Chains A and B, each alone.
Chain A
Amino acid sequence: QKEVEQDPGPLSVPEGAIVSLNCTYSNSAFQYFMWYRQYSRKGPELLMYTYSSGNKEDGRFTAQVDKSSKYISLFIRDSQPSDSATYLCAMSDRGAQKLVFGQGTRLTINP
């Protein structure tokens, strides 16, 4: 069993829809949770960073962490075609040490 599980998709939604992306994990020591966006053939770009449980909002993006369920989510409101990319969840047991990534979910927003 992988430490971090992420549905690879692909996920295709119409422009303006609310997108929900999720990851589950097995290592209860994880405390730091991140979402990265990766455009085709580019490096990952940090979107959201969360420590421990709770919600964090930044513009159209909301990250949620539920440590009791070992489940994290990223919500994208009013999705745009420019949001089309692969979204990677990542986590670590100590701040900014070794990151363990999910497989990535490929998202397409259709105009």
Chain B
Amino acid sequence: DAGVTQSPTHLIKTRGQQVTLRCSPKSGHDTVSWYQQALGQGPQFIFQYYEEEERQRGNFPDRFSGHQFPNYSSELNVNALLLGDSALYLCASRENRAGNTIYFGEGSWLTVV
């Protein structure tokens, strides 16, 4: 049973560019959340998707947007990249009706130069 999978694992972007990160949830999970983890800090909630809609959002600017597809996979898009966007981006999934536990992927390391 595959867990939460994310791609790419590492990437380097230039300030001002745009980036798309991808996530496939754990089998049987229909709810996907994204978190940003800066070095030495705990993860910060960005937003959550369920039934292809954004259900909850953290304190992140509109440059951060997302999408969920009918197969429950998800994308995180960040526009106009800033140096401060350099972080580990984590995808997490759970089963909406029954799951009270959240499982994380290995993350995508984004470096903005």
A99 located at the interface, meaning its Cβ lies under 8 Å from any Cβ of chain B in the complex: yes
Chain A's closest residue to B93 (CB) is A96
A46 and B100 contact, CB distance less than 8 A: no
* B residues in contact with A95, CB < 8 Å: 100
- Which of the residues B41, B45, B88, B100 comes within 8 Å of A100, measured between beta carbons? B45
Report B34-76 CB contacts with A as 1/0, cut-off 8 Å.
0100001111110010000000101000000000000000000
Inter-chain contact B43/A44, CB cutoff 8 Å: yes
**Contact (Cβ within 8 A) B109 A101:** no
- Give every chain A residue within 8 A of B101 (Cβ-Cβ): 34, 46, 49, 96
Count A-side interface residues using an 8 Å CB cutoff: 26
Q: Which residue of chain B is the closest to A44 with respect to CB atoms?
A: B104
Tell whether, in the assembled complex, residue B106 and residue A42 are in contact, meaning their CB atoms are under 8 Å apart.
yes
Count contacts on B: residues with CB < 8 A to the other chain. 27
Residues of A within 8 A of B44 (CB): 101
- B90 in the interface (beta carbon within 8 A): yes
Q: B41 near A103 (CB under 8 angstroms)?
A: yes
With A43-B106, A43-B107, A44-B90 as contacts: A97 and B40 at CB distance below 8 Å = no
B100 near A96: Cβ-Cβ < 8 Å: yes
Q: B residues engaging A (CB < 8 A)?
A: 4, 31, 33, 35, 40-45, 48, 56, 58, 88, 90, 92, 94, 99-107, 109
5 CB < 8 A contacts A-B: A8-B40, A44-B104, A46-B102, A49-B101, A97-B48
